[in-house]
Structure 1
Amino acid sequence: MKNKEGQQSLQDSLTGLPEWASERIMQQIRQLTNYEPAIGIMGKTGAGKSSLCNALFASEVSPVSDVMACTREPLRFRLQVGERFMTLVDLPGVGESDARDNEYAALYRDQLPRLDLVLWLIKADDRALVTDEHFYQQVIGEAYRHKVLFVISQSDKAEPGSGGDKLSTEQKQNISHKICLLHELFQPVHPVCAISVRLQWGVRVMAERMIRCLPREASSSVVAQLQHSFRTDAVNKKARDDFGETVGSVLDTVSSMPLIPAPIRAIIQAARDTVVSVARAVWSFFF
């Protein structure tokens, strides 16, 4: 019901445009509101991929199985909250087998163009990163670096581990050193995150950073899948602004179509700010 109200409000904001232009804009907005994001999650065995996904997302994610070890086709999990869908793609971690790493390179090159983001989990106590660095430089490369968010997982296992219910000062210092090391090794586009799902430490910050790393068209649909506790004001604002800007881009695209008469182009451009404002205002009706 709210979805229809939101669409009607956006339709009303397009009053004054030719019917063909209004319909084309609404068609693209409907595609936006139904966008199904795809997020890859990679990491070596035991990095905590399924634990993180279950902590982040509202719908249940099936545990990661060992099928990945014997197939080049990654496991895919479709999440659903209400009428919203999202896909998680379980990607294999590198550095466990030279033979498999060659297979994985082909798999990644095939998958990367289709993914909105890759969460690359590296265990806090993992020191064998040479293969990861090589893989990142050679396979991810310049073309897809912006799609990778590094996450130091299982921070509660950082030295000196105690098994307690909170991180020690020494552990936090070692995690800070690990973050610096990953920045030196990988020179990532996005700041490295550190989390402990067991202690519920750092996950909210990581969720917010994930939303900031996503392309504009994907952020709202991912926010709709998050656990309620991670849908903070900052997260919702980012997604709402992204949605408004993406709707604005739709109007820009239509107004710049060839053969559009200058007066029609002027009408579309004049309506842009109003339509963007309405899109932000009705964002919660969709997401």
Structure 2
Amino acid sequence: MRNQEGMYSLQSSLTGLPEWVSERVMQKIHQLTNYEPVIGIMGKTGAGKSSLCNALFTGEVSPVSDVAACTRNPLRFRLQVGEHYMTLVDLPGVGESSSRDAEYTALYRQQLPRLDLVLWLIKADDRALAVDEHFYHQVIGESYRHKVLFVISQSDKVEPTCGGEKLSIEQKQNIGRKICLLHELFQPVHPVCAISVRAKWGLRVMAERMIKCLPREASSPVVSQLKPSFRTPTVQKKARDDFGETIGTALDAVSALPLIPAPVRAVIRAVRDTVVSVARTVWNFFF
């Protein structure tokens, strides 16, 4: 019902435009509200991929591919919240089997174009990073660096461990050094995150950075999958703005068509900001 109200408000904001323009923009809005993001999760065995996903997302998870799938077909899991879906792709960690790294290279080159984001988990106490570094620079390369968000997992295991529920000052200082090391080794596009699912530490900051890293069309449907505690004002504002600007970009694309009459172009430009503003206002009707 709220979805229909949102659609009505957006359609009303397009009044005055030629029907074919309105239809094209409404088609784009429909695609946006039904977009299914695909996020890859990679990391060595024991990095805590499942724990992180269970901590962040609220949707019911159902396997898309056979649990015994071969390496070339990584495990895919589909999450659903209401009418929104998201797919998680469990990618194998590199450096565990040199005989398979070549196969993993082919796998990643096949998968990367299809992914909206890759969460690359590195255990806080993992010091063997040479293979990861080589793989990142040689396989991920310049083309897909913007899709990778490095996450230092299991930060509570950093020395000196105290066995408590909270991280000590010394642990946080050592995690800071680990973050600096990863920035030196990988030179990532996005800031490195550090988390501890067990200590419930760093997850909110990570969720906010994840939303910032996503393509505009993917941020809102991912937000709909997050647990309520991670749908912070920062997260919702980013998704709301992305939703509005993506619709604004659809209007810009129509306006830029070479054969469109000048009067029609002028009307599109005149209503653009209003349509974007309405889209931001009704965002929560959809997500």
Task: Flag whether TM exceeds 0.5 (same fold).
Answer: yes
Displacement of 1:72: 1.6
The alpha carbon displacement at 1:86 in A equals 0.5
Asked if 1:71 is matched to 2:71, the reply is yes
Q: Matches of 1:56 and 1:116 in 2, distance apart?
A: 17
> Does structure 1 residue 208 correspond to structure 2 residue 208?
yes
Q: In the alignment, is the contact (CA less than 8 A) between 2:62 and 2:79 conserved in 1?
A: no
Deviation at 1:61, TM superposition (A): 3.7
Q: Are 1:133 and 2:141 counterparts? A: no
Pairing of 1:257-276 with structure 2 (within 5 A): 257-276=257-276
2:167 match: secondary structure: coil
Equivalence map 1:135-284=2 (5 Å)? 135-284=135-284
| C-alpha contact (below 8 Å) 1:54/1:61 kept by paired residues | no
Please report how far the alpha carbon of residue 59 of structure 1 lies from its aligned counterpart in structure 2 after TM superposition.
Answer: 1.5
* Alpha-carbon spacing, 1:125–1:61, altered in 2? closer, same or farther (3 Å): farther
Match of 2:88 in 1: 88
Question: CA shift at 1:139, angstroms?
Answer: 0.3
Farther off after superposition, 270-279 or 249-258? 249-258
Partner AA of 1:125 in structure 2: D
* Residues 62 and 77 in structure 1, CA contact (< 8 A), matched pair in contact too: yes
Structure 1 segments (4+ residues) deviating >4 Å: 65-70
Shift of 1:118: 0.2
**In the aligned structure 2, how far is the partner of 1:159 from the partner of 1:40?**
29
> How far off its partner does 1:67 sit?
5.0
State the distance in 2 between where 1:244 and 1:263 align: 24
1:255 shift after superposition: 1.1
| Distance in 1 separating the partners of 2:69 and 2:92 | 8
For the 8 Å contact 1:50–1:61, the answer to whether it is kept is no
Measured after TM superposition, the shift of residue 256 of structure 1 is 1.1
Q: Is the 8 A contact 1:50 1:62 kept in 2?
A: no
Is contact 2:69-2:75 (8 Å) kept? no
- The CA deviation at 1:68 is 7.1
CA RMSD of aligned residues (A): 1.5
| Deviations, residues 103-128 of structure 1 (Å, cap 9, x unaligned) | 11100000000100000000000000
Partner residue in 1 for 2:51 = 51
Cα distance in 1 between the residues matched to 2:76 and 2:203:
23
Kindly indicate whether the alpha-carbon contact (under 8 Å) linking 2:66 and 2:75 is maintained by their aligned counterparts in 1.
Answer: no
- 2:47 match: secondary structure: coil
Query: Cα distance 1:66–1:24, how it changes in 2: closer, same or farther (>3 A)?
Result: closer
Q: Secondary structure at the match of 1:15?
A: coil
Q: Residue 169 of structure 1: CA displacement?
A: 1.4
Shift of 1:69: 8.5
Which ranges in structure 2 are unaligned for 5 or more consecutive residues?
Answer: none
The answer (yes or no) to whether the contact 2:44–2:94 under 8 Å persists in 1 is yes
Report % sequence identity. Answer: 81
Counterpart amino acid of residue 181 in structure 1: L
Question: Contact conserved, 1:28 with 1:250, CA < 8 A, in 2?
Answer: yes
Q: Which amino acid in the other structure matches residue 162 of structure 1?
A: C
Aligned-pair distance for 1:77? Answer: 0.4
After superposition, the C-alpha distances for 1:180-221 in whole angstroms (9 at most, x for unaligned) are: 000000000000000000010000100000000001111001
Q: Which residue of 2 aligns with 1:285?
A: 285
Give, in whole Å, the separation in 1 of the partners of 2:8 and 2:70.
50
2:124 touches 2:175 (CA, 8 Å); kept in 1? Answer: yes
Is the Cα–Cα contact under 8 Å of residues 14 and 275 in structure 1 kept in the other structure? yes
CA offsets 1:30-80 (integer angstroms, 9 cap, x no match): 1011111000000000000000000000114469x9957852211000000
- Partner amino acid for 1:19? E
